[in-house]
A and B are shown apart, each in its own frame.
Chain A
């Protein structure tokens, strides 16, 4: 079927440049994380909680605006118990001045209010979250390596795990570069990026496997190129619909989901790129060949698979 089509774009022609770009990006991201670090949000750092008693119920949005124009960056304003009591949580560390400053800033507009208390508050997530999540992430990568190694081939396993690490590191690097706030919602976004990127990588890998078994001509680079070409419109459509949602969230969603959307936008773009230029690229570099996927029948573990994988029988009956 490839004969009747126009000549596919030579995706793999850029593989050397892409390798350099990817490595440079990852190195830069790691350096940024080491030097600047992440700007952790209120969820992770804790800070100060200030309780204020107003004489008349204030409009919370005005309180937020006043605090913002007074130069505070990360804060949460909530009604507390009654509509005249306001609780402000902020990332600044606790000291006597801070509470007084906040009170002064808020009463500047002519509001009658009184400082009830101000106290240090700890982080919202325990240390075990960092440890468990880190460990969980490593185990997840190992399991993906093993599963894909079994279902496809070991080289595919490597080619699906490396892009995941690549994507996560780059997203974190961008957050470190711009010092955007990294909070729990961004952590969730990061996990979604892993899911998305993995999905994308496997779909491309699946087509590569299929073509290796089907196409009798051409070297591995040609076959991989052809596979990417065949899946490119699917890749663009899926990324497109996802990005449409994300841009809507980013531009209209307000500050509460800004960073969430931002992390995902970067993640989806990088994830799409990495399934072609990291995953497929690695397959070429690892020298994946037809023999890796077509094992003579009745031999070895991988030989259980037929030459072209058939969908299960129950699906054919559908």
Chain B
């Protein structure tokens, strides 16, 4: 009963604290303003030549480059201030052309030896530091057209199943579908069928040159609801994607009728964010056309890796990426990247029905990408940037169907691991109901005034100091020990959050200090227990031991229960609730460690292994 820790236990604590210190340290270094260059496609690499070209272009315009560096997949140019950062972006973009994405960024200035062990600072949130503001516009015309296409396919399929003979049925201008029939009876049959099942169309019967026409025009209400749906769906998808990026505390909101604002806090890979946000990629699965198919049912697409090779595919789409319920990047037998896909039940059914009757034929996976390309044109002697919207469709794989496919299968034929991972992310996070284009990218200042930030920081600091004072006044020597443990707890908490590269907002910082206020609890429980034991006449050394071990049960039960709540909130919650649950969980774990282990080890160092007459633990019992 000498209250001594064995050497190894002290070592474990010291090592944990040293690791904590190293990972918390980067938060001391401020970030640099920078522009970041990445390939527009995940397979495009950025090399030294590209970087030199960018730096030369900047220097030619008189912008001072603080430092330029080549990273694994991108390049960073550090600049002196926010103003030159804003000026630099268009210059670099112009110099490099459209194969590269140039984004505003905040680059951490963590020293190399820290970076080499993977340590980096926490980001400051939109309220404290501001960030990047993207404005995306949803292409509503395409949204409506896509829906019309899908409906025309459905209607045609149903007419065929009901054995009603028709011609045409394609989408015409004016948001309408025109069907033509040989006689009046089949037209009225079709009329009834469509009226019953597709009430979103206004039906109009016309007769023209011996043909009986049925014109389906989409109602205004339906157009509006498609547009609303497209926007809401895109908003949800973007939220999912932003959260997949691991960015905490983003802002995603609707603006006006057809736009979406995305704001991401300062320090991060904005280029990757932009690529994933803007990547309106989707997949389509189509059968290869039969030799004898009529040309109206055929579309020809190039292969993505070899534009000179082409394949003829059926116009009808079996299923799209919208029906994907899960997608994971994996490797095939030859170590090539692949994406494992799981369809939802509807998608699985469609896939099974289509492939069951097509064994031996080939199926293509079509990759569709919508992008904005920025071009500079000279109009009346003035240079203006014009955004061109580009749709790129390419086949990524064309494989023979060996057996009927079900709800899970895999896609091969992807260029690289990053590409496979990105495709999996995009499919997982949900596809966009309609393509979107970037219309604006700007930096945005902090949403809180400097006064508010200063006041917030000051109050947080004061709160912390007050807790420390309270503990010393009340528990004397043991209070000092608790304070050391608390400070170390704070350091560990910051270290863990830095490792997760969490984003700090002002309420978040307040929450951390609050965790400290609550972490006092473990120590208070222990110290009160020790006092109780002393009161009942047990000698100091035994009282310390009994205090720690008795209080353990309370601390354990209370913390585990709270941890359970945090874990459930993490699993169930979304966005900000999730982030908070993470902070809470880490706070519980570090405060248990520091409250039980660290404070005990200090107590042992101070009192352990010798004769102790009294403990400095405050109250009138201090001199028992």
How far, in Å, is A268 (CB) from chain B's closest CB? 9
Q: Are B554 and A202 neighbours in the complex by a CB distance under 8 Å?
A: yes
How far, in Å, is A32 (CB) from chain B's closest CB? 24
Binds A, one of B187-195, B196-204, B513-521: B513-521
How far, in Å, is B542 (CB) from chain A's closest CB? 12
Q: Are A192 and B511 neighbours in the complex by a CB distance under 8 Å?
A: yes
Question: Does B552 belong to the interface (CB within 8 Å)?
Answer: yes
Q: Given A78-B445, A311-B550, are A122 and B9 also a contact pair (CB < 8 Å)?
A: no
A192-221 interface bits toward B, Cβ cutoff 8 Å, 1 = contact, 0 = none: 101110111011011100100000000000
How far, in Å, is B606 (CB) from chain A's closest CB? 15
Q: Are A248 and B466 neighbours in the complex by a CB distance under 8 Å?
A: yes
Q: Are B510 and A81 neighbours in the complex by a CB distance under 8 Å?
A: no
Nearest A residue to B449 by beta-carbon distance? Answer: A61
For A184, give its contact among B470, B554, B569, B576 (CB under 8 Å).
B576
How far, in Å, is B546 (CB) from chain A's closest CB? 10
Q: Which residues of B contact A238 (CB under 8 A)?
A: 518, 520-521, 524
How far, in Å, is B151 (CB) from chain A's closest CB? 27
Nearest B residue to A64 by beta-carbon distance? Answer: B449
Q: Which residues of A contact B445 (CB under 8 A)?
A: 60, 78-80
Q: Are B572 and A147 neighbours in the complex by a CB distance under 8 Å?
A: no
How many angstroms between the C-alpha atoms of A221 and B524 in the bound complex?
26
For B256, give its contact among A119, A242, A252, A256 (CB under 8 Å).
A119
Q: Are B507 and A195 neighbours in the complex by a CB distance under 8 Å?
A: no
Nearest B residue to A210 by beta-carbon distance? Answer: B553
Q: Are A78 and B444 neighbours in the complex by a CB distance under 8 Å?
A: yes
Question: Does A191 belong to the interface (CB within 8 Å)?
Answer: yes
From DSSP, what is the main secondary structure of chain A's interface residues?
A: helix
Question: Does B68 belong to the interface (CB within 8 Å)?
Answer: no
Q: Are A309 and B450 neighbours in the complex by a CB distance under 8 Å?
A: no
Residue of A195, A261, A318 with most chain B CB atoms under a 10 A cut-off: A195
A123-151 interface bits toward B, Cβ cutoff 8 Å, 1 = contact, 0 = none: 11110110011011101100110011001
Q: Which residues of B contact A196 (CB under 8 A)?
A: 518
Question: Does B580 belong to the interface (CB within 8 Å)?
Answer: yes
Q: Are A202 and B557 neighbours in the complex by a CB distance under 8 Å?
A: yes
Binds A, one of B20-28, B112-120, B559-567: B559-567
Interface residues in B, total, Cβ within 8 A: 89
Q: Are A185 and B518 neighbours in the complex by a CB distance under 8 Å?
A: no
User: What band does the interface of chain A fall in when counting residues whose beta carbon is under 8 Å from B?
Assistant: 35 or more
Question: Does A292 belong to the interface (CB within 8 Å)?
Answer: no
How far, in Å, is A78 (CB) from chain B's closest CB? 5
Q: Which of B590-622 contact A (CB under 8 A)?
A: 596-597, 600
Question: Does B458 belong to the interface (CB within 8 Å)?
Answer: yes
Question: Does B254 belong to the interface (CB within 8 Å)?
Answer: yes
A50-85 interface bits toward B, Cβ cutoff 8 Å, 1 = contact, 0 = none: 000000000011001000000000001111111000
How many angstroms between the C-alpha atoms of A316 and B553 in the bound complex?
12
Q: Given A133-B573, A139-B568, A249-B510, are A202 and B561 also a contact pair (CB < 8 Å)?
A: yes
Q: Which of A254-295 contact B (CB under 8 A)?
A: 254-257, 260-261, 264
Q: Are B455 and A151 neighbours in the complex by a CB distance under 8 Å?
A: no
B450-490 interface bits toward A, Cβ cutoff 8 Å, 1 = contact, 0 = none: 11110110111011101100110010000000000000000
Q: Are B456 and A254 neighbours in the complex by a CB distance under 8 Å?
A: yes
- The list of the 7 closest CB pairs from A to B, nearest first, reads A122-B254, A136-B572, A79-B445, A254-B455, A245-B463, A81-B442, A252-B459
22 A-B pairs whose Cβ atoms sit less than 8 Å apart in the complex: A49-B255, A60-B449, A61-B449, A81-B443, A120-B254, A125-B576, A126-B574, A129-B577, A133-B572, A140-B568, A144-B561, A185-B507, A195-B584, A202-B558, A206-B553, A234-B528, A237-B474, A241-B470, A244-B517, A256-B448, A260-B510, A264-B514
Known: A129-B573, A203-B521. 14 other contacts (CB 8 A): A78-B445, A79-B445, A120-B256, A121-B256, A122-B254, A126-B574, A143-B565, A199-B562, A230-B532, A231-B528, A237-B528, A240-B470, A256-B507, A318-B600
